[in-house]
Each structure stands twice: as C-alpha cells, then as structure tokens.
Amino acid sequence: MTTIGFIGLGTMGLPMAKNLLKNGFAVVGYDAWPATAEKAASAGVTMVDSPKAVAEAADDAVISMVRDLAQNQAVLLGDDGVAKATGKPLTAIIMSTLDPDSMDALAADVEAAGDLHVIAAAVSGGSTGAEAGTLSIMSSGPKEHVEAARAYFDAVGTNVFYYGEKPGASQSAKLVNNLVLGIIMNGVAEGLKFGAHYGLPEEELLALFKVSTGDSWVARNWDAVKAWTPDTALAVLLKDLKAAHLKGLEHSIPMPFNALSSTLLFDSWNVQ
C-alpha cells in the first residue's frame, strides 16, 4: 500500500484525504488545528506532529492543501517543514490556490531547500466536489512528475488538465476559472433578486436557468453556493478574485468585470 502525505485537512483537504483512503492509499497527515487533526484521525488518517514527519512517512509525495502562500512557506520551508526531511526524493504537490508568480518563486525555493520536486495542482469544484471525488485538477510542472502523481489525482477528481512545465501555470488556470465563477455568482444572485422583486419563485427561475441560456454550474448548485459564508468558501473565492485583479493591474490586463464582482461579492450574499 502506497503512503501519501497530506498537509491541511480542513474543508477541502479532509474529504480529499478520505477519497485517497477509499481508493486504497494510506494517508499520513498534519494539520495545525487540533480539532481538525482530531477529525482527520477519526476518518482514518494517521496524524503526526509536523510536516517534516509527514514527509518522512510518505513514500513518494506530499500534498499541501493549506490556505495561502504564508502557510505553504511554513509547512514546506519552516523549521519542521517538508524540506527538512532527509533520506529520499519526494514530490511536493501544491494544491492550494496562489498567484502564479508566487507559485513559481515558492517552487524554486522548495527545490533549492531539499531533495524535492514541485508540481502545482490547483482544484475546482468546492467542498461538494471534494466530497464526491469529482474535482477538476489543473496541473503544471515537469511532466514526468505530474504523470507520476496521476493516481492521486484520479482518486480525488474526475478531470485532470495539464498546463505546462511552469508550476505557476496551474495557478493561472485556477484564477481564470475563479474570476469567471465570481462574475457568474454575482449574475445569478442579481437575476434572482430582480425576479424576487416581481414575485417570481426562485425554484422556478433556477429550473429555467438549467434548461436555458442562463445555465451554469452556479445555477445547478445554487443551494450549496448560496450557503457559502465569509469565513469559508466566500473568503477563499474573494482572495482569488483579488489576486487576479492585482495581477491584471500588474500586467496591464483590463478586467473590469472581475473588479466589480470582487467588490460586490459579499453584498450579493448579504454578508459582511
């Protein structure tokens, strides 16, 4: 039985780890939050006390599914990080969403710090996709290492895409997907608000969308999407919308709809 390491076992990470277990892999994990670590242990993940210990127990790869760049730097490059493990070459599979330039810089730092190869594999599908094992996976990095990780990807997702040798390409694809998602979410919310003013039943409008030109993943999963909250999925999406906006400004790429959707996202959900 192959043992894979998994760091970050929260809303996305834990269901992904469960699907790895269901597909015959042993999973050794780490999470900084005790309550999260306890849940993962109850699900069958062998929990250890540091990212370094995860790397030492893994056979050939460690997945990082932590929230942001700072957390990835800590778990991969910190005093007890993955790069401190010795004895065998490993592939670090970064499945968090970062901006493309940060991903490329992180990959260079990690590969310089230890006997590690880095590939990126950002995901789309949200917690429902993670639970169902139907995530879309946007991979990039040296092709031989991406291909070697394919069995892990197939355990957690149903569609795997490859975007080239640079690790940051995965993140570019994820930001493209999420900026489109944010625009569509605001559009569906605005349309339903307009319909509500005229007394149109929400369920009938959603049924219309699903068989008409207003169809989208958001419309088909509206019950789940409208329940997203500022401390979980909405916060992660807003982070990605802001990252795309800043990269657009940096590279002089006009993206006014992305700027507007990021500004209005919480207002559309009636949250702060």
Domain at 248, CATH number? 1.10.1040.10
- DSSP-derived pairing of the beta strands 3-7 and 90-94: unpaired
pLDDT of residue 271: 85
Question: Per-residue pLDDT averaged across 75-87, rounded?
Answer: 93
185 and 157 within one domain? no
**For position 21, what pLDDT does the model report?**
98
- Domain boundary residue among 126, 143, 166? 166
Q: Which of 112, 136, 166 is the last residue of a domain?
A: 166
What is the domain count for the chain?
A: 2
| Tens digit of each residue's pLDDT (9 = 90 or more) over 7-57 | 999 999 999 999 999 999 999 999 999 999 999 999 999 999 999 999 999
Question: What torsion do the CA atoms of 97, 118, 64, 154 make, to the nearest 10 degrees?
Answer: 90
pLDDT (tens digit per residue) in 240-270: 999 999 999 999 999 999 999 999 999 999 8
Which CATH number belongs to the domain containing residue 28 in this structure? 3.40.50.720
Q: Are residues 161 and 200 in the same domain?
A: no
pLDDT at 87 over 80: no
Evaluate the CA torsion angle 8, 12, 16, 17 in order and state its sign.
Answer: positive
Q: What is the dihedral of CA 86, 87, 90, 96, to 10 degrees?
A: -20
Containing structural domain, residue 245: 172-268
Ramachandran sector of residue 45 (left: φ over 0; alpha: ψ -120 to 50; beta: rest): beta
Residues 227 and 241 both lie in one domain: yes
Query: Which residue of the set 174, 210, 226, 239 is catalytic?
Result: 174
Indicate if 118 and 191 belong to the same structural domain: no
Q: Is 210 a catalytic residue?
A: no
Q: Token digits for 196? A: 């509500």
Per-residue confidence band for 86, with pLDDT thresholds at 50, 70 and 90: confident
Side chain identity at residue 50, one-letter code: S
Q: Give residue for tokens 């490329």.
A: 104
Per-residue pLDDT reduced to its tens digit, 155-185: 999 999 999 999 999 999 999 999 999 999 9
Say yes or no: 155 and 179 in one domain: no
The Cα 23–Cα 156 span in angstroms is 9
> In whole angstroms, what is the distance from residue 146 CA to residue 186 CA?
34
Q: Are residues 147 and 200 in the same domain?
A: no
Predicted confidence band of residue 133 (pLDDT cuts 50, 70, 90): very high
60 and 105 within one domain: yes
Which DSSP string do the residues of 137-201 spell out, in sequence order?
A: EEEES-HHHHHHTHHHHHHHEEEEEE--S-THHHHHHHHHHHHHHHHHHHHHHHHHHHHHHTT--
Question: Among candidates 186, 260, 254, 258, which has minimal Cα distance to 216?
Answer: 186
Same domain, 189 and 113: no
Average pLDDT, the chain: 95
Given this model, what pLDDT does residue 232 score? 79
Do 76 and 152 belong together in one domain? Answer: yes
pLDDT of residue 236: 84
User: Are residues 161 and 206 located together in one domain of the fold?
Assistant: no
Domain limit, last residue, from 122, 146, 166? 166
User: Within this chain, do residues 158 and 180 fall inside the same structural domain, yes or no?
Assistant: no
- CB within 8 Å of 201: residues ≥ 6 apart: none
And the tokens for 145?
Answer: 């290492």
